[in-house]
């Protein structure tokens, strides 16, 4: 399968309801929690294509996007509870707050097909590796696994609550460590690297504007840093300890992203690397070299179990946040607000499942699975960037309009930090419309039109229609203080 540039990581959905933070927390603990919420092996093949240059491609977005996101979300979380809806509602307006929480939910519509395409290709390595590039097979696996996940989640299974932490260990840390160790042993025995590892390849080859796609599409590899900002008030000295925690987390995340990508590039040539099955290609090559081919299915099971655990753990999270806001403010029609006997928003999950199934069929209709993966990942990135644009704008306005509001942490030079984050996010949004340098064979305008339609319909048209046609009786829950209900946040 020919490889094409893809976003290094499809942003992962975040839980809408945070658990209560402990009374005190060390900055190291917070760094580890943040690492667990961001790091993933699924990104490795997309950057392994560029060999040593992946270090640069990960480092630049970490500086201009990761740090601003982490620092700004910490100030907002330490001043206003309720997550991104409350932040944007207080700083800008309630409708824009709804747009932010909608985009957090909407990006999962494309996230799950991308995640399950990775699972399908991994399963294929256990059954028949040729299936990894079969669109019909991929579409079937996506639909079967997703609807199974909907059924499990709709029953409110509490045992799923701790699966994400086990997913980090089973599907990221253990296989990632094995991959890197095998790679080092492989090179240590005198075998040549499939990708050049000299200083001349530290920077990616410049092929025009399309080359920028490699940098900006790595921004969303770091999505989720805002998730753990809610714990900033649990630190003994937030002003000093939170920045230390974020720098440590950034270092750990970079190691988890970069080292496995390098290990893959050592053994799998770029022109043979699959975007969805690249991790398994590397495991298969290493295990075959060391005559332990029987371990390939074991590695596949580890990756599969971690991905499925992640899907089940997060499936109901973003939709629950959207549901709670909608019941209080009347943003969604009553049909989508109904709960089943287990207290789960089943109608939202089923509606999302219908759309997900339609998206899955694209894998069957478009011959190149990697091309579909790229397009869906790009739309996911575009939609989620809206959240960060609103967050940075809200932070600057709140500092200006409510400077005396208590905050457990204040970002030094907030204006500069937010400006860097805004410009980086806008750059990522704009460059997302540029077809990557290796995206060949298709019409450029067709690509731009597809991405634009996905962004406009999913990110703007649908939430606008909900706001335009909502009725007073759509508010199905009364709350003494709905999120963002202060006078500062009630501007329409």
DSSP 161-172: GGHHHHHHIIII
82 Rama class: left (phi>0) / alpha (psi -120 to 50) / beta: left
User: 445: buried, middle or exposed (CB in 10 Å: 19+, 13-18, 0-12)?
Assistant: exposed
Output the pLDDT for position 209: 63
pTM of the model: 0.77
Angle made by CA atoms 282, 288, 291, in degrees to the nearest 5: 140
pLDDT in tens, the chain (492 residues): 333 333 344 445 444 444 444 457 888 888 877 777 677 787 788 788 888 888 888 888 888 888 898 889 888 888 887 778 899 999 999 999 999 989 988 887 777 887 888 888 888 888 888 887 788 888 899 899 989 888 887 776 554 555 555 666 777 788 888 999 999 999 999 899 888 888 777 877 776 666 666 666 677 677 766 666 767 778 888 877 888 888 888 888 888 889 999 999 999 888 888 777 788 889 989 999 999 988 988 988 888 887 777 677 667 667 777 888 888 888 989 888 888 887 778 888 888 888 888 888 877 777 666 667 677 778 888 888 999 999 999 999 999 999 999 888 899 999 999 999 999 899 888 888 887 655 555 677 888 888 888 889 988 999 999 999 988 888 876 543 444 444 333 333
User: Rounded to whole angstroms, how far apart are CA atoms 66 and 55?
Assistant: 15
- Residue environment code for 230-247, b if the CB has 16+ CB neighbours within 10 A, otherwise e: bbbbbbeebeebbbebbe
The residue behind tokens 């943003």 is: 331
Output the pLDDT for position 17: 41
User: Rounded to whole angstroms, how far apart are CA atoms 256 and 275?
Assistant: 18
- Tell me how far the alpha carbon of residue 58 is from its chain's centroid: 15
User: Rounded to whole angstroms, how far apart are CA atoms 108 and 425?
Assistant: 19
Closest listed residue to residue 158, CA positions, set 316, 38, 308: 316
Q: How many CB atoms lie within 10 A of CB 427?
A: 17
How far apart are the two ends of the chain, measured CA to CA in Å?
Answer: 50
User: 227: buried, middle or exposed (CB in 10 Å: 19+, 13-18, 0-12)?
Assistant: buried
User: 104: buried, middle or exposed (CB in 10 Å: 19+, 13-18, 0-12)?
Assistant: buried
User: Rounded to whole angstroms, how far apart are CA atoms 199 and 381?
Assistant: 31
> How big is the chain, counted in residues?
492
Domain layout of the chain by residue ranges: 27-471
**Mapping DSSP to helix (H, G, I), strand (E, B) and coil, where does residue 93 land?**
coil
330 Rama class: left (phi>0) / alpha (psi -120 to 50) / beta: left
DSSP labels, 400-440 = HH-TTS--S---TTHHHHHHHHHHHHHHHHHHTTSPPTT--
| Helices marked H in 18-171 | 27-38, 44-48, 54-61, 67-79, 83-91, 94-127, 135-154, 163-168
Closest listed residue to residue 179, CA positions, set 54, 55, 50, 278: 278
**Mapping DSSP to helix (H, G, I), strand (E, B) and coil, where does residue 155 land?**
coil
User: Rounded to whole angstroms, how far apart are CA atoms 463 and 192?
Assistant: 53
Closest listed residue to residue 264, CA positions, set 246, 240, 286: 286
Output the pLDDT for position 79: 85
**Crossing angle between the packed helical segments 94-127 and 462-469, to the nearest 10 degrees:** 140
Q: Decide if domain 27-471 falls under CATH 1.20.1740.10.
A: yes
User: Rounded to whole angstroms, how far apart are CA atoms 109 and 126?
Assistant: 27
């Amino acid at each position: 399968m020919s490889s094409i540039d893809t976003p290094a990581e499809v942003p992962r959905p975040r839980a809408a309801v945070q658990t209560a933070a402990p009374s005190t927390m060390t900055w190291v603990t917070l760094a580890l929690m943040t690492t667990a919420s961001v790091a993933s092996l699924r990104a490795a093949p997309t950057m392994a294509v560029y060999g040593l240059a992946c270090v640069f491609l990960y480092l630049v977005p970490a500086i201009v996007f990761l740090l601003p996101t982490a620092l700004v979300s910490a100030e907002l979380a330490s001043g206003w509870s309720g997550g991104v809806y409350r932040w944007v509602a207080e700083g800008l307006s309630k409708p824009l707050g709804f747009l932010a929480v909608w985009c957090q939910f909407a990006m999962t519509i494309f996230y799950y097909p991308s995640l399950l395409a990775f699972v399908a290709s991994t399963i294929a390595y256990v059954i028949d590796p040729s299936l990894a590039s079969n669109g019909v097979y991929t579409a079937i696996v996506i639909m079967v696994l997703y609807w199974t996940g909907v059924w499990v989640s709709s029953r409110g299974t509490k045992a799923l609550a701790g699966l994400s932490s086990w997913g980090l260990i089973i599907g990221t840390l253990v296989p990632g460590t094995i991959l890197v160790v095998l790679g080092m042993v492989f090179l240590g025995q005198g075998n040549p690297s499939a990708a050049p590892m000299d200083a001349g390849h530290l920077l990616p080859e410049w092929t025009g504007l399309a080359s920028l796609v490699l940098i900006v599409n790595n921004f969303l590899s770091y999505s989720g840093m805002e998730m753990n900002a809610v714990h900033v008030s649990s630190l003994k000295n937030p002003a000093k300890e939170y920045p230390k925690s974020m720098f440590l987390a950034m270092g750990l995340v970079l190691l988890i992203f970069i080292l496995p990508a390098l290990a893959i590039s050592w053994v799998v040539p770029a022109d043979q690397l699959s975007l969805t099955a690249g991790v398994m290609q590397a495991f298969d090559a290493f295990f075959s070299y060391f005559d332990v081919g029987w371990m390939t299915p074991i590695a596949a099971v580890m990756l599969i179990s971690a991905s499925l655990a992640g899907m089940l753990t997060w499936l109901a999270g973003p939709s629950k946040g959207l549901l709670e806001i909608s019941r209080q403010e009347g943003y969604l029609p009553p049909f989508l607000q109904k709960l089943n006997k287990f207290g789960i928003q089943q109608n939202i999950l089923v509606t999302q499942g219908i759309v997900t199934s339609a998206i899955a069929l694209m894998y069957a209709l478009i011959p190149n699975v990697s091309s579909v993966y790229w397009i869906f990942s790009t739309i996911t990135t575009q939609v989620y960037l809206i959240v960060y644009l609103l967050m940075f704008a809200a932070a600057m306005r709140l500092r200006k309009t409510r400077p005396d509001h208590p905050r457990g942490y204040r970002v030094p030079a907030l204006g500069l930090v937010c400006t860097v984050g805004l410009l980086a996010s806008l750059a990522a949004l704009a460059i997302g419309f540029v077809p990557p340098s290796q995206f060949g064979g298709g019409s450029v305008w067709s690509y731009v039109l597809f991405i634009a339609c996905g962004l406009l319909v999913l990110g703007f048209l649908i939430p606008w229609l909900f706001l335009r046609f909502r009725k007073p009786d759509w508010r199905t829950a009364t709350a003494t203080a709905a999120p963002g209900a202060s006078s500062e946040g009630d501007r329409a």
